[in-house]
A = this chain, B = another copy of it.
């Protein structure tokens, strides 16, 4: 008997018929003797519809109230799946995040899990029931409903798998796993058989949005092996995200990630003295502007240029903040560039194998793609390029690193 946590995303439970299909899959596992906990997202566009309702009330919904509102989407799915399982003769019980014992911080909209009290879930499993948990939600110490932000149901699933010491955590979605690149823009892209947590994190945060980054972090922390697979194609094995066990098996490119849209702000001619970075980035953080890549050039005659990227939606606010501190920085000029994108090559061991960077730059050059900025980590090289050239760049790099070949 295996202990399994399964998570079905919004597209897998988009309609009554979809939910019935999920029920049949869950019932089959239960009948085979497995203990099954199912985490569900809201149906299809429900979360967007609930957001739209809130926006009809106010442009600035109260965060506590918004969390209660959004949490109803997952709750509805959980009850419907339970009904469908009962219809198949399988005993099941739906639990809210609160009932499932998921305690969180009181930071509405992006609460973090502080602990999981598994008593109720274990009691229900011991009764032979399938336990269905509404994803994306928990409860604060004050018993207020909290949510985890978009994609939070992945986090629910991995955290439950950790707390329940489940044998496997299965994330079912509308794609066949983690691809070597986005198949919508790269026809040769193929699903990976497996991938390490760190690589997955780089892919998740730089464009491959199949899996929520926080969920991967929880998986890494508690060593939960996560299988990402299609809920529509049962024959495809999907991708296993786990701790790499083969020493040095990495050391190669695993995937190409991209972001279609980013924006760049450059602060020119800043006198190079200690503390200038804090002077610039603290007010940005205070204003809620999330900064991606930061590059500071070596200074020339005690003057330096500082460049950073933000999401295009944050550009106006970022410029407002930078203009406000420009005088204090002693900067000569602030310039911005809105129509950029990024392309990243991801794989373990890149830092120790400089040939990867050279091949990436050469490939982009041969495709007549100009590199605007470069940033790197141990397992990633990212180039900021023109937004319009992102698709060409992904395809060229996928070919250059021969990612269409089976690993």
Question: Chain A: residues with CB nearer than 8 A to chain B?
Answer: 16, 19-20, 50, 53-54, 56-58, 60-62, 64-66, 68-69, 72, 75-76, 78-80, 82-84, 86-87, 93-94, 96, 99, 143-144
Contacts and interface: CB of A to CB of B under 8 A. Distances in A.
B83 A65 contact: yes
A54 B72 contact: no
23 contacts: A16-B53, A20-B57, A53-B76, A53-B80, A54-B79, A54-B83, A57-B80, A57-B84, A58-B83, A61-B83, A61-B86, A64-B93, A65-B79, A65-B82, A65-B94, A66-B83, A68-B78, A68-B79, A68-B94, A69-B80, A69-B83, A72-B76, A99-B143
A50 B76 contact: yes
A78 to B, nearest CB: 8
A65 to B, nearest CB: 4
Given A50-B76, A76-B50, A143-B99, A83 B57 contact: yes
A86 B62 contact: yes
A226 B50 CA distance: 33
Among the interface residues A57, A86, A143, which one has the most CB atoms of the partner chain B within 10 A?
A57
A58 B16 CA distance: 10
Contacts of A78: 68
Contacts of A58: 83-84, 86-87
B57 A19 contact: yes
